[in-house]
Structure 1
Amino acid sequence: MTIVVKNLENEQATVAMGQLIAQHISPPLTVFLTGDLGAGKTTLSRGIIQSLGHKGAVKSPTYTLVEPYELNGFDVYHFDLYRLADPEELEFMGIRDYFNPTSICLVEWPEHGQGLLPQADLHLHLHYKDDQREIEVNALSAAGQTILTKLK
């Protein structure tokens, strides 16, 4: 099932969409975020992470590969695999340990870790539509379907 939400006309609308998604998610959950450079993946992630309770800045993990956020009783791991040279690097960093029953994992550029990442529950695809952005939300599991139904 797919929902297409149009009119993410600016950064505030993208953050607001992240806040809406955050209202309906809980661990364990894996979310893939895809789209061109600058399409709003990190901005959407910031809306999700801050809405889940993180009070500080949310920075892009482009160079660190992962930024951890310890929240009330669970962890959020924000991955950016854009600069990943080889998916095997994920094995060396212990990638499987991040995907556990008490974590929400947000993964930007998941195609760079293909074969080593678990199946996503939700796939959020952002793309340019004229001078705005459009988001496609796809459910890939029963947990994703429950979230998608709530987002309608």
Structure 2
Amino acid sequence: MLTVGSIDAMQFLGQQLADAARPGDTIALSGDLGAGKSTLARAILTALGFAGEVPSPTFALILPYDPPEVRIPVIHADFYRLDGAMELEELGLDAGDPALLIAEWPERVGGLAGQNTLQLRITGSDASERRIDAQPGQNWQARWQQIAGRWS
């Protein structure tokens, strides 16, 4: 569990996640409305080199980012408007080259798990502090331990 006490700290976490991320990974972001999922997703994309405005994919569902605008291919997805795993299959996220998937609201499609998945649940009772609980898949365990060690 990490405690993130400011926007700057959330951006620092985004930098750490971006440095650790690889094509084919999934970073699944859960939490209530306003918890900071989109803020963390934007921080990851910015740390990967994206210089523009990062819109929320709530209505588009998925927004792809490709080199050279980012260091590695990324798909930023927001599953809030979906209702189940069948709708996820219709998006065709398994097709094409491997990319880093940053997924908001994974619980809306039955959750995302696997050895390449880092599940992060963001909670907080006020605007100044967020708690981040992680469930790293096998391939994320050492990377997450290194990130979490910087917060101790």
The TM-score range, normalised by the shorter chain, is 0.7 to 0.9
Offset, 1:150 = 2.0
Which amino acid in 2 is paired with 1:38?
Answer: G
Report SS of the residue matched to 2:95: helix
Structure-1 residue corresponding to 2:119: 123
Give the percent of matched residue pairs that are identical in Structure 1 and Structure 2: 35
**C-alpha distance in 2 between matches for 1:25 and 1:66:** 19
Deviation beyond 4 Å, 4+ runs, structure 1: none
The alignment status of 1:138 with 2:135, answered yes or no, reads yes
Deviates more, 1:68-77 or 1:24-33: 68-77
**C-alpha distance in 2 between matches for 1:97 and 1:65:** 16
Offset, 1:86 = 4.3
Structure-2 residue corresponding to 1:61: 57
Match of 2:67 among 71, 76, 89: 71
Structure-1 residue corresponding to 2:47: 51
Provide the alpha-carbon RMSD of the alignment: 2.0
1:38-70 deviation digits (Å, cap 9, x = unpaired): 000010011111101111111110011111110
TM-score, with normalisation over the residues of structure 2? 0.83
TM-score, with normalisation over the residues of structure 1? 0.83
Gap runs ≥5 in structure 2: none
Which amino acid in 2 is paired with 1:10?
Answer: S
The correspondence of residues 23-34 of structure 1 with structure 2, limited to 5 A, is 23-34=19-30
Report SS of the residue matched to 2:120: strand
Gap runs ≥5 in structure 1: none
Report SS of the residue matched to 1:137: strand
**C-alpha distance in 2 between matches for 1:84 and 1:93:** 10
Match of 1:88 among 86, 89, 93: 86
Offset, 1:27 = 1.5
Deviates more, 1:68-77 or 1:58-67: 68-77
Offset, 1:129 = 4.1
**Paired residues of 1:54 and 1:71 also in contact (CA < 8 A):** no
